[in-house]
Structure 1
Amino acid sequence: MAISAKGKRRISVDERVYLWRSFDEYDQGWFNGVQVIVAAMDQELFLRYGLGQPDKSRTAVVSRGRGAPGIRAACPRFEGDGDVFTPQVVRSLIAWGLAVAL
C-alpha cells in the first residue's frame, strides 16, 4: 500500500524519496506537542521526533519497514534555533535514523 503524499513535504536523500510533515498532537502516541514524522516512499524507514524535549531524555522513534515495531532511541537535538524544522534538519534526522536502524 502506498503512502499518501497529501499534506506532506517531499525530500530526497541519497536518491531515496521521503515524505515528512510536522503536526501538533497530545495523548495520542509517542510524543506530546509538536512532532515531525518522516516516511520513506518505499516504506523501509519510519521516523518520529518530538520537538522541545529535555536534553537528558531526548529520543526519537525508528522503525524499519511497515508494521515493524518502533524502537525509541536516544538522539541529538535536531530542531534549529527557535524550534525550526527545515529540510536540512530533516536530512540530519534521516541520516541519524538510517545509522540507528542498521
Structure 2
Amino acid sequence: MARPSVDRLGICYEFKGKAVTRAPCVISPGYGAGAQYVTYTFNNREFYVEYPNLKPNSAPTLNGKTAIEYRRDASFFAIVKGAPVEGETYINCIKTKDGKTDVCVLETD
C-alpha cells in the first residue's frame, strides 16, 4: 500500500546562520510500510524528511540525520516558543540536531 501523494507547491526556506534562502518549492509527500515521508525540492536540491510509523515516538530524520521540528514566525523568521497565536502565520521547520541543515516550508493553497 506504499504510494506517493499528489505534489503541492509552497515556499521553502533554508537557514544557514543569519542567511536565509527563499524559493518556490515542490512538496512531494507519500508513505510506505514503515514511514511517512516528504521531499522538499528547491534551488536544485532535495531535502528528504521521514517520519517513522513503526516507532511513533521516534524523532523524524532529515536527509538521514535525526531532526527536530519547530515553527518560525512567517514575517520575521523568529523561532516560536509556546502556543501559536490565532491569526498569525507560521512556517513549519525541521533541522538536523547538529544544526547544519535547517529548512522550513510555507504551503500555498
> What's the TM-score, normalizing by structure 2?
0.43
Q: Which has the higher strand share?
A: 2
Higher relative contact order (CA 8 A, sep 6+): 2
Q: Which has the higher helix share?
A: 1
Higher gyration radius (CA): 2
> What's the TM-score, normalizing by structure 1?
0.46
